[in-house]
A and B are shown apart, each in its own frame.
Chain A
Amino acid sequence: MPSHDPGKQPSKPVLVLLLLACLTVLTLDARGGTHSPMEPLRTAVGDVVGPVETGTAVAVRPFRKVAGYLGSNDRLRKQVAILSAENSRLRSRVEAQPLDRNRLAELDGLTRTAQRTGYSLVAARVVAMGPSQSFSRTVTIDAGSSSGVRPNETVVNNDGLVGRVLRVTRTTATVLLVVDKDSVVGGRLGSNLELGFLHGRGTTGNDDQLDLDLMDSSVSPARGDVVVTWGSQGGAPYVAGIPVGKVVSVWSTPRQMAKHAVIQPFVDFTALDVVGVVVPRGTQGDRKLITAGGE
């Protein structure tokens, strides 16, 4: 032991005690699953830290905009390139319009089921993102049980499916993104209504993609096919007909019969801001519900 701590014993007992405490917490939480004794603690900490996160996010938002102005030139140039590429692609697609119209009618029918089932949306903003060091893809939103949000509800945004609510505190909720490694979503191909399962990859960065395993091995998804959610019983955790992404590549191995497709989600998970939580119609809460009829 170095002599710079005169009269102080080495801190072995404290260290051992702390390590044991860590292992206890780990065991309790890992064995407990959803009924883990850490769950009330999580809610309590969330009740305290959640509002702080919300406040910080609100305070920081203007500065983020300034940073956006400064860094926008490069991005705008890139955007021009992307848009002109998209423009020419769209022009060529106009030629194939009749085919697409069929596809659209089908997709529309699926999307309408979401409206028919009578769900409404609670609007919320993303206030915190889980760091990649944690190897899980979760975000905090600023709507909680006081706004009528409950666990296992679907979260969407303008572009499509974002994820599902894992747990709520009074003013915040934790959302598991569909790109997380643990996320599995039932998906349906828009063109032929075939079913499959969408798995997140959990990877970081801009290559946020999903893997689609189809149930029927004889079906081959086509590039550009749109995948929508297939929906769970009672709309929890996922309601039906929410667009998820489109097929960018298809592959299969000789060993397995089933085809696998790689899906590019419509949602940009690194730039999430305003999202909506799908709640049953008539949910009571402290903020106004957005309904399909606009009432």
Chain B
Amino acid sequence: MALVRGLGVLCILLVAVVLQVAVFGYLSVDGVVPDLALLVVVAAALSRGPEFAAVLGFAGGLLLDLAPPADHVAGRWALALVVVGYLAGRVRQDARDSTLAALVTVGACSFVGTSIYALTGLVLGDGALPASEMLRVIGISLLWDVLITPLVLPGLLIALRRLRPPQLVY
């Protein structure tokens, strides 16, 4: 049963990553698309806590790093999403109960996640752009993520709650 649940969660991640590259490319604003994988990680943090979200963030980030057409140094998104999962998990008690708090959490996570990704790029000298350009991309992706949260987050929360092992329900 645990295996089925794990596969279910992995499927959600896979769908998010594929939608991000294959479908949302047509809706992009200046090439920036909503960060669905990040939303999945935040949803996991809100419903299951920091530990689970960090693990999920690692898996989702690695998938983003390795799935085509990614070409950056592997591990950059993984690092960003692990931190995002952990941070979102720490504030979840407040964010779970109010819509506004959830939106703020998503916005903050989007900013932190994309910024960590950009900073690792600067440190590694891997595809670094001028800071103004990076800030613009970070800003647009933040807006996208907050905009799409009401459409995606409730469904994700329900799905992840369904996939929760029964002994952990409290």
Binding site for B on A (CB under 8 A): 2, 4-6, 11, 14-15, 18-19, 21-26, 28-30, 36, 38, 41-42, 45-46, 49-50, 52-53, 56-57, 60, 64, 67, 127-140, 166-167, 169, 172-176, 180-182, 202-206, 270
Nearest CB of chain A from residue B145's CB, rounded to whole Å: 10
Binary contact track B120-141/A, C-beta < 8 Å → 1, others 0: 1100101111000110110011
Residue B148 CB within 8 A of the other chain: no
Residue B46 CB within 8 A of the other chain: no
Cβ B33 vs Cβ A133 within 8 A: yes
Binding site for A on B (CB under 8 A): 14, 17-26, 28, 30-33, 35, 49-51, 54-55, 57-58, 61-79, 82-83, 86, 89, 93, 114, 117-118, 120-121, 124, 126-129, 133-134, 136-137, 140-141, 170
Q: Tell me whether A11 and B49 are in contact in the complex, defined as CB-CB below 8 angstroms, given that A21-B58, A45-B66 are known contacts.
A: yes
* Chain A contacts for B19, CB-based, 8 A: 56
Chain B residue nearest to A206 in the complex (CB): B30
* Chain A contacts for B128, CB-based, 8 A: 135, 181
Q: Whole-angstrom distance between the alpha carbons of A105 and B78 in the complex?
A: 52
Q: Pick the contact of A57: B22, B73, B75, B83 (CB < 8 A).
A: B22
Cβ B75 vs Cβ A22 within 8 A: yes
Q: Tell me whether A42 and B93 are in contact in the complex, defined as CB-CB below 8 angstroms, given that A128-B21, A135-B127 are known contacts.
A: no
Cβ B68 vs Cβ A14 within 8 A: no
* Chain A contacts for B31, CB-based, 8 A: 129, 131-132, 137, 204-205, 270
Cβ A140 vs Cβ B68 within 8 A: yes
Q: Whole-angstrom distance between the alpha carbons of A42 and B69 in the complex?
A: 10
Nearest CB of chain B from residue A202's CB, rounded to whole Å: 5
